[in-house]
Amino acid sequence: MSDDSVLCIIPARGGSKGVPRKNVRLLAGKPLIAWTVEQALETKSMHVMVSTDDPEIAEIARGCGADVPFLRPAELAQDETPTEPVVEHAINWMRSQGRMPRAVMLLQATSPVRLPSTLTRAIEEFDQSSYDSMVGVVPQAPFLWALDSAGGQPVASYDVAHRRRRQDMSTHDLRYRETGSLYLTKPEIYTEQHNRLGGRIGLFVMDEIEGTDIDTEEDLLTAERQLRQIGLGSGS
């Protein structure tokens, strides 16, 4: 029943409040969803599936070459629907076809800025590791603050008396922000834990330019600028 492929699932719901219809909005000359589909299709040994409830998104995704074998049920396309049940729905569809991939790559269409080698590198790192799941992150300096639960006083996550320069920090000194762009997971983690992250978790360090997540109109402008910066998109 299992095969040697990686199932790539790209969830793309039709509804969006922050940026209406954002998955079909033009970004540097292409619909937003097209960027992630095309990046995934350039990666070998990957079955690229788009899970959507929206016929227009489905048509665009199919036109780019993705597999869209179903329209997602309405109960899995609500504002409050978590991502994990959507992924499990796609995995179960694959299982119904007598196939079970060795790994599941979850790509968010709202994070369209990825370098050409990123997805291949992620699969290689996952295959060479003993991870059960892996999360895409970008490094950042640890100059982070929180409010304590007692009196709401600010608390630093670093030693304010010995502030270090970013360029003097090692990888162990940095913090790593989850991009939301990319996750790689063994299918049994979804089946048993109903989570994209579980078991032995690894960090997949991405380039800082790949950390954009589109929630606002300003984010769209930022992503377009970044795509052109790395030589992609119309006008590059």
Residue 234, pLDDT score: 61
CA–CA separation, 181 and 107 (whole Å): 6
Q: Is the pLDDT of residue 191 over 50?
A: yes
- Say how many C-beta atoms besides its own lie within 10 A of residue 73's C-beta: 10
- Say how many C-beta atoms besides its own lie within 10 A of residue 210's C-beta: 21
Cα separation values, 27 from 39, 115, 173, 214, Å: 15, 16, 36, 11
CA–CA separation, 120 and 168 (whole Å): 30
CATH of 6-137+176-229, one of 3.90.550.10, 3.40.50.740, 3.40.640.10, 3.30.930.10: 3.90.550.10
pTM tops 0.85, yes or no: yes
- What is the SS3 assignment for 69? coil
Residue 16, pLDDT score: 77
Cα separation values, 5 from 41, 67, 189, Å: 13, 14, 17
Q: Which residues contact 73 (CB under 8 A, 6 or more apart)?
A: 53, 89
What is the per-residue pLDDT across 36-69, written as a single tens digit (0 to 9) for each? 999 999 998 899 999 999 999 999 999 999 999 9
Q: Is the pLDDT of residue 76 over 80?
A: yes
Residue 166, pLDDT score: 85
Residue 40 structure tokens: 């995934």
Lowest mean pLDDT among 81-90, 164-173, 200-209, 219-228: 164-173
Over residues 143-165, the mean pLDDT reads 88
CA–CA separation, 111 and 235 (whole Å): 20
- Say what percent of the chain tops pLDDT 70: 97
Q: How confident is the model at residue 2 (pLDDT cuts 50, 70, 90)?
A: low
- What is the SS3 assignment for 199? coil
- What is the SS3 assignment for 33? helix
Over residues 180-187, the mean pLDDT reads 97
Active-site residue flag, 163? yes
| Catalytic entry in 163, 166, 200, 225 | 163
